Structure 1
Amino acid sequence: MLGYNRGFEEDKESEIDEYIRGQAFAEELKEVIREDMLKRVLRTIYHRRKFLKWREQRREAELQKLQHNPGVPKNVVDRAQGH
């Protein structure tokens, strides 16, 4: 009977150890996932700001181009001539 109990206790200890290791692994995995998500959000914010700055510079360049070239746009002239 004592041998049976000792074997049963060893199995139970093994199960508990496995459970604890699994919990520790799950926590580490959750932490890695959280860090990855944070990195992705920060990267998205960085690229969005960079894109918005680029788009604004492009618009300003177009406005300056239009201000330096006053007159009738080419497509309006073409329509007036019947092309």
Structure 2
Amino acid sequence: VDIEAIATGEYWLASEAKEKGLVDEIMTSDDYLCSKLDECEIIEIKTEIGQNRLEKIIEGGTTLFRQWTTSRIPGAGEELEDVRQRFR
């Protein structure tokens, strides 16, 4: 690879990158993984997306409101829970 020719800040389409020797092959990530099945152990990692900061603040606020309300108004806890379930 001629560094002077490629280190210009430009970018190339996949076919051009292959012509310039920047990549060995052009394939999808699925094709690549399938080509490695016999050579490597492939594992899958799944991540769960947690609540964002605003959701945590809102949930904390509603919990505090529910606790405050139920401590002052008898029976309010069940009604608030019904409303909460309806809007989930």
TM-score by length of 1: 0.30
Answer with 1 or 2: which has the greater Rg: 1
More helix by share: 1
